[in-house]
């Protein structure tokens, strides 16, 4: 029997798959989330298990239904993770400092595909911030090398997780580096930028992942590599 969500195609707001305590995590739902690097300790990121807070249900999501995300609950500098089509979606609320960093020529000169020439995003995300709104980033959290889940280290650091770190995503498997928009650095194993899922704004703070803005047709299956 079709669920109301499937029949109406109006997704409920999906809660982030995050529980810092995580006691209810199951193997099925065990993904990782890299949380924000905003702490008094200057910790760049931490890994915590995700739990089952899926709405709509996991079966519907696996079938590819859109999900709605309330961005009003994502603090500046924070990253939260959702699941769409059985893949982690990293959602970041970028601060003005992060936005400046994305445009820093020192960073841009180190990127393999700074203009997003490769088809790794919808056309409306082919810009310096790789999203509809600069303040919010949405990328699929799967390394384009061999599929590990990168970690979020938002703050620059001289030596960690890599030398002269400028802030972004680091894949611990083989050392690939991405900036805060998921643009891959030159000279690392990963060949492409992190994919950007289709997304459109239903309201100022509600974004729907899995649908394009009106008038745009973009097939996520057409991207070069996930």
Distance separating alpha carbons of residues 216 and 47, to the nearest angstrom = 36
Burial of 26 (0-12, 13-18, 19+ CB in 10 A): exposed
Cα gap 137→92, rounded to integer Å: 5
Residue written as token pair 């009106």: 214
Query: What is the closest distance, in whole angstroms, from the C-beta atom of residue 66 to ligand FES in the complex?
Result: 28
**Known catalytic membership, residue 174:** yes
Q: Is 97 helix (H, G, I), strand (E, B) or coil?
A: helix
> Which listed residue (93, 129, 145, 174) is catalytic?
174
Q: Applying CB under 6 A, which part among 33-41, 126-134, 139-147, 192-200 lies near ligand FES?
A: 139-147
The nearest distance, CB 177 to ligand FES, in angstroms, is: 9
Of 93, 145, 199, 208, which lies in the binding site for ligand FES, with binding defined by CB under 6 A?
145
CA distance 158 to 51: 34
What is the C-alpha to C-alpha distance for residues 157 and 101, in angstroms, rounded to an integer? 13
* Closer residue to ligand FES (CB): 189 or 213: 189
With respect to ligand FES, which residue has the nearer C-beta, 136 or 170? 170
Q: Is 174 in the site for ligand FES (CB under 6 A)?
A: yes
- Which one among 44, 102, 132, 143 touches ligand FES, defined by CB under 6 A? 143
Q: How far apart are CA 184 and CA 52, in angstroms?
A: 31
Least gap, CB of 175 to ligand FES (angstroms): 6
Q: Which stretch binds ligand FES (CB under 6 A): 79-87, 122-130, 145-153, 204-212?
A: 145-153
> Within 10 A of 54 (CB to CB), how many other CB atoms are there?
18
Task: Measure Cα distances from 96 to 5, 9, 80, 135, 170 in Å.
Answer: 36, 35, 18, 8, 21
- The mark string for 184-213 relative to ligand FES (x by CB under 6 A, - otherwise) is -----xx-----------------------
Chain position carrying tokens 């990127």: 111
Q: Is residue 226 near ligand FES by the rule CB under 6 A?
A: no
| CB 146 to ligand FES: min, Å | 4
Torsion over CA: 84, 150, 191, 113 (sign): positive
What's the min distance (Å) between Cβ of 109 and ligand FES? Answer: 21
Stretch near ligand FES under the rule CB under 6 A, chosen from 13-21, 104-112, 151-159, 167-175: 167-175
The residues binding ligand FES (CB under 6 A) are: 143, 145-148, 171, 173-176, 189-190
Mind telling me the catalytic residues?
A: 174
């Amino acid at each position: 029997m079709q669920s109301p969500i499937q029949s109406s195609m109006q997704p409920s707001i999906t809660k982030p798959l995050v529980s810092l305590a995580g006691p209810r995590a199951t193997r099925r739902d065990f993904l990782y989330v890299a949380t924000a690097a905003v702490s008094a300790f200057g910790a760049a990121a931490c890994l915590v298990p995700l739990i089952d807070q899926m709405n709509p249900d996991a079966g519907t999501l696996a079938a590819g239904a859109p999900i709605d995300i309330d961005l009003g609950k994502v603090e500046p500098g924070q990253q939260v993770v959702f699941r769409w089509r059985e893949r982690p979606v990293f959602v970041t609320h970028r601060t003005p400092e992060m936005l400046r960093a994305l445009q820093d020529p020192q960073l841009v000169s180190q990127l393999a595909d700074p203009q997003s020439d490769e088809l790794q995003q919808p056309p409306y995300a082919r810009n310096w911030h790789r999203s509809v709104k600069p303040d919010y980033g949405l990328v699929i959290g799967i390394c384009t090398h061999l599929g590990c889940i990168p970690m979020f280290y938002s703050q620059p650091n001289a030596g960690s997780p890599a030398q002269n770190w400028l802030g972004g995503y680091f894949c611990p498997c083989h050392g690939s580096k991405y900036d805060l928009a998921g643009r891959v650095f030159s000279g690392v194993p990963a060949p492409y930028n992190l994919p950007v899922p289709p997304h459109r704004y239903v309201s100022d703070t509600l974004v729907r992942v899995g649908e394009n803005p009106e008038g745009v047709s973009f097939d996520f299956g057409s991207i070069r590599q996930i």
